[in-house]
Amino acid sequence: MRVLVTGGAGFIGSHLAETLLRRGDEVRVVDNFATGRRENVLDLDGVEILEGDLRSYERAHAAVRDCEIVFHQAALGSVPRSVQDPLTTNETNVTGTLNVLLAARDAGVRRVVFASSSSIYGRNTELPKREAMRPLPMSPYAVSKLAGETYCQAFSSVFGLETVALRYFNVFGPRQDPTSQYAAVIPKFITAMAAGERPVIFGDGDQSRDFTFIDNVVEANLLAAETANGVGETFNVAVGERATLNETVSILSDLLGVRVAADHRPERPGDVKHSLADISRGRELLGYEPKVGFREGLERTIPFFAG
């Protein structure tokens, strides 16, 4: 099967492309390398690499040509980045997604699997987060992901393009970039603590997250590409457990064998206080079952960042 992974040089996209290649698919990736890394895909023997920006419909159409499945991972991530620059986030995440959907429709692609985000739940404080809950996004990034989901649903109902949206909950693992000012918390914590530095926490550290190891996310994407029951639907992708940032620092201290106190700084605008997923819908309709828990995921991730 020929598949396209947009954002295929990024953290999640490159893991997905690697798994697809390993199972025997013909894999094309498209990336503008704004945040994706060339080294993430250069060693993937057999992958076809296209450089291009999906804000161009023409580039999107060239990328999806002759593909049966599109895994749309490309996005400008980060809540703080979207607060600083809402326009670029919108152009990349909303216009880019619309171009991918239009190109997929026009090229006869069978299915698009869309990478959404748990951030769309936003100000809705009810736990756990269920897909039927009212979205209350708090940041431009969250708004852009909700717009992408809604476009997917519209293209399924109006044009008959099969779509499945996956709401990722705080994905972590090897290949994340710890050096970016917008980097996810896990790689930042590991690199800082391994160097004997204090990990930075914005707020009191009692905020909690449903941290999800990358292998679980890849598995969810493969299931979403094959499901007969979830077309036009949205699913949480998580573990169904949560840990506070303070607890995360404590676990990493044990695993790394270091003792450093966190550096607490003021809270950031747009950040959600607590996040925990109900993954029962994915279990029922996709057959999704997370195979890697939080602590095991940290154990697998540490060697990549700490040597």
Close Cβ partners of 2 (under 8 Å, ≥ 6 residues apart): 25, 26, 27, 28, 66, 67, 68
Structure tokens at 138: 């708090």
DSSP letter (8 states) at residue 277: B
Cβ atoms of residues 136 and 125 within 8 Å: no
Burial class from Cβ neighbours inside 10 Å (0-12, 13-18, 19+) for residue 38 reads exposed
Proportion of the chain in helix, strand, coil states, percent, rounded to 5: 40, 20, 40
What separation in angstroms does the CA of 126 have from each of 122, 137, 165, 203, 223?
10, 14, 21, 21, 27
DSSP letter (8 states) at residue 133: S
Amino acid letter at 192? A
Q: Residues 121, 141, 151, 168: which is the catalytic one?
A: 141
Residue 158 CA to residue 178 CA, distance in Å, equals 41
Give per-residue burial for 173-195: e unless 16+ CB within 10 Å, then b. bbbbbbeeeebbbbbbbbbbbbe
As beta bridge partners, residue 129 has 277
Q: Is the peptide bond before 140 cis (omega within 30 degrees of 0)?
A: no
| 141 included as an active-site residue | yes
Torsion, CA 223, CA 227, CA 231, CA 235, rounded to 10: -40
- Which residues does the annotation mark as catalytic? 141
